[in-house]
């Protein structure tokens, strides 16, 4: 029986991806580099640190990674504050409240920075529903490395067989697969370029699942 749901944030709870995209490409312009759409898609699910480690190497930048992170974060924060159309994704608030009301533990396991997570959670009053928050900035490797989900599952106090992941990105689904945790892939307009083929179950609306359906899922056995 499933006792814990591990949520990704961007593209699952809230769509900050357009704000991140705006911040990244504004920064790329400042740096005078051209990042193709194909290249940018491969960054989905990576922490900002890992993205700029790759950017620095691929474009031979002399900037310190920490300086690159802070500049992009500054652009993002300015945009975040004036983006009035930033809302929770359709149906996810009802799902979170349903899980909470029915005793299903929720843990956030997001590649986003702690600062960004806190901004989103405070804006939408989400802290009350989640027992733990895990940020990708605390791990040397980003998804598809499974470390973030393995750690989040340990924090739950439950075995991985009693956990599921909800993800919307190729890298996130791969990370759940590598952690051997049942994965629900959320296919939306924003994730249309992401490959969710290896997810154990794919939904396009959060109304397709609820606490009773999730509890009935047979989690993956870890030996």
Confidence at residue 68, expressed as pLDDT on a 0 to 100 scale: 97
Helix (H) or strand (E) holding 152: helix 147-156
Look at residues 38, 57, 82 and tell me which one is the last residue of a structural domain.
Answer: 82
Task: List the one residue out of 72, 20, 57, 70 whose CA is nearest residue 41.
Answer: 20
Distance CA 45, CA 143 (A): 6
Same domain, 54 and 111: no
The separation between CA 61 and the C-alpha centre of its own chain, rounded to angstroms, equals 27
What is residue 83's predicted lDDT score, i.e. its pLDDT? 73
pLDDT in tens, 74-105: 998 888 877 776 889 999 999 999 999 999 99
Single pTM value for the model: 0.81
Same domain, 110 and 72: no
Shared-domain flag, residues 52 and 34: yes
What per-residue confidence (pLDDT) applies to 220?
Answer: 86
- Tell me whether residue 28 is in a domain: yes
Structural domain count, the chain? 2
User: In order along the chain (223 residues), what is the average pLDDT of each group of 10 residues?
Assistant: 96 86 94 94 86 94 95 90 81 98 98 90 95 94 96 98 97 97 91 90 97 94 70
What integer pLDDT is reported at residue 34 of this predicted model? Answer: 95
Question: What pLDDT, on the 0 to 100 scale, is given for residue 223?
Answer: 56
- Structural domain contains residue 221: no
Instruction: Name the domain boundary from 54, 82, 110.
Output: 82
Sign (positive/negative) of CA torsion 194, 197, 199, 203? positive
Same domain? 130 vs 205: yes
Pair 37, 127 in one domain: no
In a domain, 128, yes or no: yes
Q: What is the pLDDT of residue 87?
A: 85
Residues 143-166, buried b or exposed e (16+ Cβ, 10 A)? bbbbbbbbbbbebbebebbbbbbb
With respect to residue 223, please indicate whether it lies within any of the assigned structural domains: no
Q: Which domain holds residue 21?
A: 17-82
| Same domain? 176 vs 123 | yes
In a shared domain, residues 73 and 121: no
Give me the pLDDT at residue 211, please: 98
């Amino acid at each position: 029986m499933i006792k814990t749901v591990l949520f990704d944030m961007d593209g699952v709870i809230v769509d900050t991806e357009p704000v991140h995209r705006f911040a990244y490409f504004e920064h790329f312009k400042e740096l005078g580099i051209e990042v193709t759409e194909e290249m940018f898609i491969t960054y989905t699910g990576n922490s900002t640190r890992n993205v700029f480690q790759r950017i620095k190497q691929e474009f031979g930048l002399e900037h310190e990674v920490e300086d690159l992170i802070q500049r992009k974060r500054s652009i993002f924060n300015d945009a975040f504050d004036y983006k009035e159309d930033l809302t929770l994704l359709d149906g996810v608030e009802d799902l979170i409240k349903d899980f909470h009301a029915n005793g299903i533990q929720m843990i956030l396991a997001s590649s986003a920075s702690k600062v960004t997570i806190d901004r989103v959670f405070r804006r939408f009053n989400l802290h009350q529903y989640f027992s733990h928050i895990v940020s990708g900035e605390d791990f040397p490797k980003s998804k598809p490395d499974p470390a973030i989900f393995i750690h989040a599952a340990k924090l739950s106090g439950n075995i991985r067989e009693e956990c599921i992941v909800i993800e919307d990105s190729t890298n996130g689904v791969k990370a759940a697969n590598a952690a051997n945790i049942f994965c629900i892939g959320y296919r939306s307009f924003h994730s249309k370029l992401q490959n969710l083929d290896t997810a154990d179950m794919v939904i396009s609306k959060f109304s397709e699942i609820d606490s009773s359906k999730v509890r009935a899922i047979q989690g993956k056995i870890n030996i």
